[in-house]
Structure 1
Amino acid sequence: MQRFLLIISVLFSSLFFTQTRLNLIPYPQKVEFQKGEFIIPESFKLDQNLPKKETEYFKKRTQQLLKFQTAKGAGVHLSSGKFCSKCISDLQKPEKYRLTVSPEGIKIQSASENGYFLALQTLIQLFEEYKDSGKIPAMEIEDEPKFVWRGMHLDVCRHFFTVEEVKQYIDYLAMYKLNTFHWHLTDDQGWRIEIKKYPKLTQIGSKRKESMIGAYVDNTFDGKPYGPYFYTQDQIKEVVKYAAERHITVVPEIEMPGHALAALSAYPELACTKGPFEPATKWGVFDDVFCPKDETFKFLENVLDEVMALFPSQYIHIGGDECPKTRWKECAHCQELIKKNNLKDEHGLQSYFIQRIEKYVNSKGRKIIGWDEILEGGLAPNAAVMSWTGIKGGIEAAKSGHFAIMTPGSYCYFDHYQGDPATEPNAFGGFTPLDKVYSYNPVPSELNAEQAKYIKGVQANLWTEYILDFRQVQYMIFPRLLALSEVGWGTADPENYKEFEGRVINEFKNLDKMGVNYAKSIYNISGKVVAANNGVSYELSTSQNPDGIRYTLDGTEPNVNSQTYQKAIPVLKSLTIKSAYFENGQLKSAVSSQTFTVSKTTGKKIMLEQLPSENYSFGGAFTLIDGIIGNQRQLGKTWLGFNGKDVVATIDFGQKTQFSEVYFNTLDNKGSWIHFAKSAQIFISDDGTNFKLIKEIGKDEILSAKGKIKLNVGNQNSKYLKIKIENAGIIPAGNPGADSKAWLFVDEIGAL
């Protein structure tokens, strides 16, 4: 009987919780609903003893919702409105707060202005949600973030954004309780910060003769001069002050030793070769980098002196990523330096470079943080790592007692597509939809409890090669910023994603009021290929009522009278499925289109000997036999990417199957370090153990086919098909990323 009563109690509590779930983002750690409600008065009188900057911010944010008067004496309030910032003994953490809403009033308790400010963000959302009804349910919220670093990055080098736009960006972070703004200020394509000791950095390095446009593989340019664009030191101070008033730390990034073309264009004597150089017009990675000689270090120290005078942040980001070693290998000075300091190789020279910079930064009372390539050759003693190539760098840093910020491209790169690439603006590549961001856990399972303490937080990055203006910035960060905020706060619940999606859609009305150009991808039809009956089926879903989905199978545009979606659509032959969402007879979404090319491998069992890179692993091995041919201009969800690895795939037909042709596609996009395969081999087997080679092609044949490989293998009849596609290996000199591992991209493996 007691067990039965307990179950009833839990079910009742769960039902009550579901019915009273708040539309807050990020969701608080603890919410307790109480009896009664707070009636929102006509106007408020605010205690003059409240923290002034934070309270003024609150008044400005709510001026459309609420009316305020200022009390002359402490504790004088109108009606039942009560705001209190006095702390109590159990609220000592700077970002912890307690917000109590009762019929008598509203009370905020925190140990710091920071906690008070975070509480105000929650309160603003409550007022926005309940202003129309005029009453807020009584509740007590006790809340604090899980991670101390909750960041967003903005690249202003590829495309520049004004001071006012940067302030808007910071406002978005504040609204959703992020606390770190990572400002990417220098790169190959532009130097964006005034350095008074070196005026040519902005005179020459802040402009370029033209910009790349369209997909990278198109290799086209707009022919229009870009710049000069940069921030004066007074503007930098203005932004830093603005952010501080919102309890946001601005972390500047000054790239070194790579991504230095804009700087070398101004001061070519800092390179290993004589130049001349110019700021890059293409995107990607370039061989000319800072030469590790005394005059270079003196230059960088002087630059950092001015940077540190502008930015009071504990950490200074020094980049450290994607530094080709080509010039260092050819440089007599670099080779002598390697020998003199008993360094192993050029990777050791990278470590020497970073450690020398770190010593200088440490001498000024600051610390460095860099991308995970700063692990090359040994990590600087006090450095923190920003893990972007995956989670490996963060794991390595944490296990060695270094702080890490987790920002893996597969979850946290907001320059990736967030919906069907065919219906989205041109993006860098990848596929990172809202639900994937929300599913991210910044603490790798490989770490024990003690090591996990070194995971300082999480950050998303916005690189702007393909982001031309601020409206597109808004489009790329919203609504993914909302998922990031809840991940960073530590209350994301991927198992209950649909509930979060509902809160996101509710938040859209506030973004509409602000005029934010957010992506509406979650309204569009989402398609998922699944294995079914020794083949594949196509599942359609939407954030709306699924009864509104209409689709066609003949490639025509769907309309309100088209087939109503009820269950997964069997894909029995090559066809194009088009789908859209309709409401009250009106089209409410973009039309989604998916073409299937069915072959004898489609939907069969597949095994990969080596896994793809985390950044380009959407769908896993199944992506290679799902019936979808990849678009060579979009590296979205239809390609698998392998960094320095071969593709070795074994397909089990299930029974002996006749075929005479095998096909696959591979990519060439050297600016992104992606190279055609070096060779390919086709094998067959009847037992899955003993394989026979039936076809082999080399690099010349792959080049002549431009990566679209169709191989006549004769009349075959086997149960297993194995294909080995060889990675190009180490990128040769003269190419972007020389001396680094090449990427191999593969889409569908088919047999006819």
Structure 2
Amino acid sequence: MKKLIYHISLLICLQVLTVSFAKAQGDEKRYPLIPYPQHLAAGAGEFKITAKTVIVTAPDALFANEVKQLNELISKGLGKALVVTHRQASSSILLKYDDKITADEGYSLSITPQQIVISAKQGAGMFRAIETIRQLLPADIEAGIHHSALNVPALSIQDEPVFAWRGMHLDVSRHFFSVSYLKKFIDLLSLYKMNKFHLHLTDDQGWRIEIKKYPKLTEQGAWRTFNNQDSACMKQAVDNPDMAIDPSHIIHRDGKTLYGGFYTQKEMKDVVAYATARHIEIIPEIDMPGHMMSAINSYPFLTCNGENSWGKLFTKPICPCNETTFEFAQNVFTEIMDIFPSKYIHIGGDEVDRTDWGKSEECKALMAREGIKDLPGLQSYFINRMEKFFNAHGRKMIGWDEVLEGGVTSSAMIMYWRTWVPDAPVKAAKNGNQVIMVPGNPLYFDGKYDRNSASNIYHFNPIPKGLTEEQAKLIVGAQAAIWAESVPSEKRADYRFMPRMTALAELLWTNKVSLYDGYVKRNIEQFPRLDALKVNYRMPDLADMVDYRVFVKADTVTAVKPLKSMIVRFTHDGTMPGPSSPILNKYIVDKNQVLNIAAFAANGRRGDVYTVNYRQQNYAEPATTSVQSGLKVFYYPGEFNGTTKMPADNSDKVYTVPGVAVPDEVKAPSFALRFKGYINVPQTGIYTFYLTCDDAGVLKIDNQTTIDNDGMHAPVEKSGQAAMKKGLHPFELNFVEGGGGYTLKLKYSHNGSVLQDVPADWFKN
């Protein structure tokens, strides 16, 4: 009987917890947490933090840093710090050690109207709990707005991350970022419980860290005259001030205008300490043997022949066959390890042009002496020798996935980025290597941002197919990368990674795809906090913005605003919308014209500009012809720089496919496809199509261009409409893949329906 009562009581408790969890998920305004906790039960009432509240902690100073961080947070909102005591007290925030919590970043949090109790085993877990509380506090405290009391909603949380590696990468070589921005970047990482900051410190375009043994690395290598990347940014700055080159990083020397900058070792140690206090590990990357032009310019002895130039694809690398190269590398990394206490050192190892190595007599002799069979093996010799140096100093080496090509030890960590080599992370895991997933699609945040970006990130599975359960454990997590060729300012960097980093943060911490709809709502609740933190985030998309719209008689233009504070303005004269442009409010379009539409924040900041091309079109008459199922696909292997470069004639390599998908027979790394046939629409109407492609794609319906997504680019969605009567309509889709992995998706919507794949039975030929 006792057992029966126990099981009934347990069942009731579980039901209560399930209901509380569901209730909490449905109250995004009360619990706007990102990442969402593993277990959250809603509570009744609130705890009020006032000047009389005290922080209670054990006298052993285990959580001294976290107490300091908590007090700094609260003082922003109250205007004063709380008293810290070791004795129990009413109206207190209690920080407790709990050895039952096994995860380093795990914590439990209980908030009642009487008390806040935070429990953790490690400082990292305690700090993650404090960041949870931070997101429950009023957003305006981030701007230093003081309150007489800070109300925190009651709840109960048990939480820990799914993935150990939750990172962001920032390239400071192509364009330079200030120390203050690095700290702002770290603050945003900590707010969303990220724990790794991969700092790309050197590349062809600039050397950004002081190395005392080699002063010319920064005296010369940190500065450059404006290059083609700078020029491209300046051109875009005409319409977008965020693309302007930051004048604080421009100097004049010897009659030249130079761009650049670097961090002194003292400055960087301060940044490292700032990150460490927030339990974020900074992983330095000194990229070699390739991407070393900025170093070779100052120290030509690093190459095999003294030359420093661009090869066919990449710059000439340093020479792995001279002992002076290893002496240089080890001296550099010795100073790097003194600055960065991180367990990890990133050596790069990507995109190496090995041509000159094959011409070097020294390299030929070394390869014969060491039994090295090929140039990838020679690169592995360099990488593996450097790894031994790192290991001898208690560090673990990370390399981009190219280091797998000539063979690598199982102790190295692999950072996977090349989406066109999908088996690389599988090979690494099967070799025993730990793997960090950074695939260019969807985790290169310097790529174009569109309305699908957050969803693509949130639904990305870091665990590749083809691994056993044990091998899958070697996928330690993921990170996103911001390469800075087209990110010339700190505002532009903000725009590139916020708020889509929140999707990555929740994926890697919570990893529950079922929470996506709640995430979208909670993400909206984050914007006031980001405003207070002065983050130049990308504003959420306006709904129903179609690139190519058609109308039969007239169309009424409206805008659905995801944020009430937005003001939507437009122009129809070819200029970009500004703060004084007309407000969009049921504007009538009854002739062919182009509208530029943009949302403005309350502070006047402009969001993305949507260029909508309006075209009058009568409902197209259906074709009358004999057809069969599927589309014809004409295959053209080779390199084509856009769809206009495709052959006009039909190819003799022809396949039939049920829908818009690349045939299995297509094996070339670069190719073009022409899909031809008919689309059979079930009813008369205006249909909206959405074409996502990497690289180029152009959709034609009824022999008219419906979507123009041409040009060689990363995956991006374009949309267009066609007015059609019920029945068959000529359909043609031209697609070009330039190499490096493709994306091709076609979806549709009709009369405001949810986007969906075009049904296979609509396609005929």
TM-score by length of 1: 0.70
Identify the residue that residue 323 of structure 1 maps to in structure 2: 352
Structure 1, 382-391 or 256-265: larger mean CA deviation:
382-391
Identify the residue that residue 145 of structure 1 maps to in structure 2: 161
CA distance in 1, matches of 2:177, 2:407: 36
1:75 and 2:87 aligned = yes
1:173 and 2:173 aligned = no
CA distance in 1, matches of 2:636, 2:468: 26
Match of 2:525 among 506, 520, 523: 506
Aligned-pair distance for 1:747? 13
CA distance in 2, matches of 1:288, 1:726: 29
Identify the residue that residue 500 of structure 2 maps to in structure 1: 480
Aligned-pair distance for 1:372? 0.8
CA distance in 2, matches of 1:306, 1:101: 46
Aligned-pair distance for 1:402? 0.7
Aligned-pair distance for 1:335? 3.1
CA distance in 2, matches of 1:611, 1:65: 62
CA distance in 2, matches of 1:601, 1:101: 65
Specify the SS of the correspondent of 1:98. Answer: strand
Identify the residue that residue 629 of structure 1 maps to in structure 2: none
Match of 2:77 among 61, 65, 75: 65
Identify the residue that residue 358 of structure 1 maps to in structure 2: 387
1:397 and 2:397 aligned = no
Specify the SS of the correspondent of 1:225. Answer: strand
Specify the SS of the correspondent of 1:417. Answer: coil
Specify the SS of the correspondent of 1:141. Answer: strand
C-alpha contact (below 8 Å) 1:29/1:143 kept by paired residues: yes
Identify the residue that residue 702 of structure 2 maps to in structure 1: none
Q: In structure 2, give the amino acid aligned to 1:60.
A: E
CA distance in 1, matches of 2:601, 2:270: 47
Aligned-pair distance for 1:525? 5.4
Aligned-pair distance for 1:61? 2.4
CA distance in 2, matches of 1:357, 1:448: 31
Aligned CA distance change for structure 1 residues 193 and 16 (closer, same or farther; 3 Å): closer
Among the aligned pairs, what percent are the same residue?
34
Q: In structure 2, give the amino acid aligned to 1:357.
A: M
What pairs up with 1:65-104 in 2 under 5 angstroms? 65-66=77-78, 71=83, 73-77=85-89, 79-89=90-100, 91-104=101-114
Identify the residue that residue 48 of structure 2 maps to in structure 1: 39
Identify the residue that residue 687 of structure 2 maps to in structure 1: none
Identify the residue that residue 522 of structure 1 maps to in structure 2: 541
C-alpha contact (below 8 Å) 2:313/2:353 kept by paired residues: no
Aligned CA distance change for structure 1 residues 499 and 190 (closer, same or farther; 3 Å): same
Residue deviations 1:274-313 (CA, integer Å, cap 9, x gap): 23x48x9x99832344443221112111211121122221
Aligned CA distance change for structure 1 residues 72 and 113 (closer, same or farther; 3 Å): closer
CA distance in 1, matches of 2:121, 2:515: 32
Match of 1:110 among 108, 114, 120: 120
CA distance in 1, matches of 2:409, 2:300: 27
What pairs up with 1:609-688 in 2 under 5 angstroms? 645-654=669-678
CA distance in 2, matches of 1:529, 1:196: 57
Aligned-pair distance for 1:338? 3.1
Q: In structure 1, give the amino acid aligned to 2:374.
A: D
Residue deviations 1:1-30 (CA, integer Å, cap 9, x gap): xxxx9xx99997786344434101111111
Q: In structure 2, give the amino acid aligned to 1:52.
A: A
1:463 and 2:457 aligned = no
Identify the residue that residue 611 of structure 2 maps to in structure 1: 593
Aligned CA distance change for structure 1 residues 450 and 209 (closer, same or farther; 3 Å): same
Q: In structure 2, give the amino acid aligned to 1:479.
A: P
Aligned CA distance change for structure 1 residues 265 and 60 (closer, same or farther; 3 Å): same
Specify the SS of the correspondent of 2:424. Answer: helix
Q: How many equivalent residue pairs?
A: 618
Aligned-pair distance for 1:490? 2.6
Aligned-pair distance for 1:210? 2.4
Residue deviations 1:33-83 (CA, integer Å, cap 9, x gap): 234432343542223636222221222223232355554752254x52232
Residue deviations 1:462-504 (CA, integer Å, cap 9, x gap): 11112222222222221122122112213453x5534322222
CA distance in 2, matches of 1:322, 1:491: 32
Aligned CA distance change for structure 1 residues 540 and 412 (closer, same or farther; 3 Å): farther
Structure 1, 260-269 or 230-239: larger mean CA deviation:
230-239
Aligned-pair distance for 1:446? 3.1
Structure 1, 475-484 or 285-294: larger mean CA deviation:
285-294
Aligned-pair distance for 1:371? 0.8
Identify the residue that residue 203 of structure 2 maps to in structure 1: 187
Identify the residue that residue 412 of structure 1 maps to in structure 2: 443
Specify the SS of the correspondent of 1:516. Answer: coil
TM-score by length of 2: 0.69
Aligned CA distance change for structure 1 residues 287 and 228 (closer, same or farther; 3 Å): same
Aligned CA distance change for structure 1 residues 35 and 188 (closer, same or farther; 3 Å): same
Aligned CA distance change for structure 1 residues 611 and 371 (closer, same or farther; 3 Å): farther
Aligned-pair distance for 1:86? 2.0
1:294 and 2:315 aligned = no
Q: In structure 2, give the amino acid aligned to 1:58.
A: L
Aligned-pair distance for 1:137? 3.3
CA distance in 2, matches of 1:336, 1:29: 58
Q: In structure 2, give the amino acid aligned to 1:514.
A: L
Aligned CA distance change for structure 1 residues 354 and 587 (closer, same or farther; 3 Å): closer
1:53 and 2:65 aligned = yes
Match of 1:16 among 23, 27, 30: 23
1:309 and 2:344 aligned = no
C-alpha contact (below 8 Å) 2:23/2:42 kept by paired residues: no
What pairs up with 1:150-165 in 2 under 5 angstroms? 150-165=166-181
C-alpha contact (below 8 Å) 1:203/1:228 kept by paired residues: no
C-alpha contact (below 8 Å) 1:388/1:406 kept by paired residues: yes
Identify the residue that residue 336 of structure 1 maps to in structure 2: 365
CA distance in 1, matches of 2:342, 2:155: 36
Identify the residue that residue 30 of structure 1 maps to in structure 2: 39
Gaps of 5+ in 1: 421-431, 531-537, 614-620, 625-639, 657-673, 677-717, 728-740
Identify the residue that residue 6 of structure 2 maps to in structure 1: none
Specify the SS of the correspondent of 2:390. Answer: helix
CA distance in 2, matches of 1:650, 1:97: 55
Residue deviations 1:415-435 (CA, integer Å, cap 9, x gap): 112138xxxxxxxxxxx7233
Aligned-pair distance for 1:106? 0.5
Q: In structure 1, give the amino acid aligned to 2:443.
A: C
Aligned CA distance change for structure 1 residues 609 and 544 (closer, same or farther; 3 Å): farther
Aligned CA distance change for structure 1 residues 163 and 553 (closer, same or farther; 3 Å): closer
Residue deviations 1:90-132 (CA, integer Å, cap 9, x gap): x122111000011220000101111111110001111236998
C-alpha contact (below 8 Å) 1:550/1:563 kept by paired residues: no
CA distance in 1, matches of 2:606, 2:212: 53
Aligned CA distance change for structure 1 residues 287 and 130 (closer, same or farther; 3 Å): closer
CA distance in 2, matches of 1:36, 1:334: 73
Specify the SS of the correspondent of 1:410. Answer: helix
Aligned-pair distance for 1:343? 2.7
Aligned-pair distance for 1:135? 3.9
C-alpha contact (below 8 Å) 1:524/1:591 kept by paired residues: no
C-alpha contact (below 8 Å) 1:36/1:137 kept by paired residues: yes
C-alpha contact (below 8 Å) 1:601/1:653 kept by paired residues: no
Aligned CA distance change for structure 1 residues 137 and 237 (closer, same or farther; 3 Å): closer
